[in-house]
Amino acid sequence: MTIFRDAVTQGSLAAAARNHGLSSEMASRHLRALEKRLGVRLLNRSTRKLSLIAAGDAYLGRCTAILDEIASTEAMAATLQASPTGLLRVAAPLAFANASLGPAFDAYLKEYPGVSLALDLTERVADIVGEGYDVALRLGALPDSAMTARKLAEFPLVLVAAPGYLAGAPDIVSPEELECHEVLIYTQTARPNRITLKDVAGQKVSVALTGRVSASDIGILLELARRGLGPVFAPLFLVEHDLREGRLQQIMMNWTARSLPLHAVLPNRFLTPSAARSFIEFMADWFRG
């Protein structure tokens, strides 16, 4: 089952064989034996390409879930025997890490003194498998993937602006009134120039966003918002201090935008390291708190 899953996710039997220290011929024998026992062909394969057939597609989903459960059970047993140790490579969004993760990392390292963290903080989407990460923290909707993900938290997106800007600008009470303002636009989304808002009755309105400034970094947009250049949609965790200190004000509070989910994403490994498991469990507890 593992050879079959890895051959599909990595694109070749040779890659699956290398993963497990086998020859390509031995990996092929494993796959033939599996198909013989099931009495059904799972893959069409040539010298260059593998492709799932219908039975293989259905079987892949079930066997992946089974293998993940086996890995989880074995990792839990290993965790019970010894405290996590070793180097844990973690990728996380830069702005989110700067705003929210420092205290969490500090508390985790104190609870697990045998673990060291190597942090790659960037706004790009890291290649977890290719770059050798143990865990990636990702904000926003996840694309379809063979990797394992666990939802840790969800953060609302809020509309904020500086008091000075609001004092000299038209009121923003309804979504349509946004079209009269130069919004600071964050470009790292699927539709940067449009947002859908929902009121307390569940009514949805989609509005276009226009403005003179757009950027791929939310940090610079927040700095411009503090200076009174316009309103901006931002995750609540990034603006909580500004709201408390009065540098920014939340506006149009009767309407809500989408929320940003936070996931911990793992490479599709047969056995998850105990340090990675401890990190994910700790983060889940941290954000529940």
The predicted-structure confidence for 185-234, as pLDDT tens digits, reads as follows 998 887 899 999 999 888 899 999 999 999 988 889 999 999 999 999 99
| pLDDT value at residue 100 | 86
pLDDT higher than threshold 80 for residue 143: no
3-state helix/strand/coil string of 98-152: HHHHHHHHHHHHHHCCCEEEEEEECCCCCCHHHHCCCEEEEECCCCCCCCEEEEE
Percent of the chain clearing pLDDT 90 (strictly above) = 41
Q: Is residue 146 predicted with pLDDT exceeding 80? A: no
Question: Cβ of 86: how many Cβ atoms within 10 Å?
Answer: 12
Structure tokens at 3: 């050879």
CA 150 to chain centre: 9
Task: Please give the pLDDT value at position 208.
Answer: 92
For residue 43, is pLDDT > 60? yes
Tens of pLDDT, residues 78-115: 655 567 888 999 999 888 898 889 999 999 999 999 99
If we measure between CA atoms, which residue out of 17, 6, 263 comes closest to residue 141? 263
- What span, in angstroms and rounded, lies between the C-alpha atoms of 217 and 122? 10
Q: What is the pLDDT, as a whole number, of residue 216? A: 87
- pLDDT of residue 130 exceeding 90, the answer is no
Helix (H) or strand (E) holding 200: none
Predicted confidence (pLDDT) per residue in 149-180, tens digit:
889 999 999 999 999 999 988 888 889 898 88
Q: What is the pTM of this model?
A: 0.61
Tell me, what DSSP letter sits at residue 180? G
Q: Between 130 and 195, where is the model more confident?
A: 195
Least confident of 30-44, 88-102, 157-171, 269-283: 269-283
State both tokens at 244: 């408390």
In the DSSP assignment, the letter for residue 175 is: G
Whether 279 has a pLDDT exceeding 70, the answer reads: yes
| Mean predicted confidence (pLDDT) in 126-139 | 84
